[in-house]
Chain A
Amino acid sequence: MDEPIWLKFIVAFVIMNVLLVGMAYMTYFERKVLAAFQDRMGPTRTGPKGLLQPLADGAKLLGKEDLIPGSADKWVFFFAPLVVFVTAITSVAVIPFGTSFDVAGQTINMTIADLNIGALFVLAISSVGVYGIILGAWASSNRYSLLGGLRAAAQVVSYEIILGLSLVGIFILTGSLNLGDIVAEQSRTLSIGPFEISNWFILSQPLAFVLFLIAAVAETNRAPFDLPEAETELVSGFHTEYSAFRFSFYFLGEYIAMIVMSLFASTLFLGGTDGPGSDSHVLLGILWLLLKTILFLFFYVWLRATLPRFRYDQLMGIAWKVLLPLVLLNIVVTAAVRLAVNS
């Protein structure tokens, strides 16, 4: 934590830009994977294998007319997409992309902000994000938007509880909320009989992993929990009235939130940067983290390609009647096991 502030800025700048490019290519990835699921080609025309498609999309959105409904609350309408975008991109600050390494006499910490409550920070920031959706929905003065906003509020509040509580087991096992500590804990190798396995939390907390995965999909408003923007019911949900680059801020926010959630899940359950060779090579660790993240992103697209959408009441019912008891059970069992092992 003793590196100069300018170095922090450089690291943050690099990571943010990588994330934005990653987001752009996430859309390409999604379109290609979805196309493969659906027996289609996906983008092929822009550049080799359609690789320039994200750039073309961005340029197109920049060139579109920026419409604000006459009856909209202009300041809130202007402000809301930024909330979604900024909160989504902020939470990446606490994700550890590896431990520190030395370059030209400077120690570079691969976590932008090594907070001792990193996990809590991600949860807190992602819950601020929903304000952007609610405010934007309300400011649009459109009934589809309003319904989308109402759905988002109820959905995100419910699933945040699941999301937070599913991590309590990990906190009990690690004894820390620092994401770096959580990764370090998972890097330990356990020997069970003749086998040597990593102490990844997906192995010791499988139920929490599944619950976290479900809640993360709901938290990012993705299929089959994409009710706030259910296009077959609410036209486009909360961003019906948004166009041009205002719309793309929502879009960016949603995709970055997906990437952050995937990074977060890889860090918490799949050992983060942990993998063969990651102890000696920082870059190899980053590669492992990326691979795990892509696995989660693939899972997101897979869900979208396969599952129908839940109905609002069913969504709520699942959160409160099924997931919440399960997540509480997980906490109790984890705590009991921990106590038994300690004593």
Chain B
Amino acid sequence: MTSARDDILGRLRQRRPRDDAMRDATGEEIRRAIAHPERGPRPADAEDLVARFVERARAMTSSTDVCPDTGQVPARCAAWLRAMRLPLAVVVAPALADLDWRGAALSVRIGAAGRDDAVGVTPCFRAIAETGTLMLCSGPATPAVNSLLPQTHIAIVRSEHIVADMEAAWQAARAELTAWPRAVNFVSGPSRTADIEQTIVLGAHGPYRVHVLVVGT
């Protein structure tokens, strides 16, 4: 008895007969297609990527704020949490451990979010201006749960990391990441559902709110 794999692949081959030369040529085409990915048609780039990103992120119901340099990030986060009357206790991704969170009068835990954490803070590998989307890569210093389990997610986006579109974000990932992450999560605003009567409700299973702090503007 042949395995399901060999049987399925065998039948596909039967339906598309090729001789050895053709098979080699197609294999070569596939290698080339992957080595030199072709980009599809994309909307025209915005002149000001940061402005476009902020506009689109708000359209996806993220809130946004800007901050001139990294040193002020904890204070800006604390101010926003206070204004929103949210808990002043945050779980921060290890990648952002060096910032002075306690100096901003925040109760802080560095690590991966658990079931009881109210506010998760993450960095962001790239952000996409076209759709106002965060690109989060999982890793030891950037656990995926911090943008998933807490009711509030704060993302710290460096302005130079805002790129035009998803193609540019993939290009950066291919060039910079030494190990391909287990999870690349694109997040565009808070979790939502419209399953009941097509009425949109925020906070289905993930965060109720996503706050994006753009640093370096």
User: Are these two chains actual partners, yes or no?
Assistant: no
- Which A positions have Cβ atoms within 8 angstroms of B? none
Q: Which residues of B contact A (CB under 8 A)?
A: none
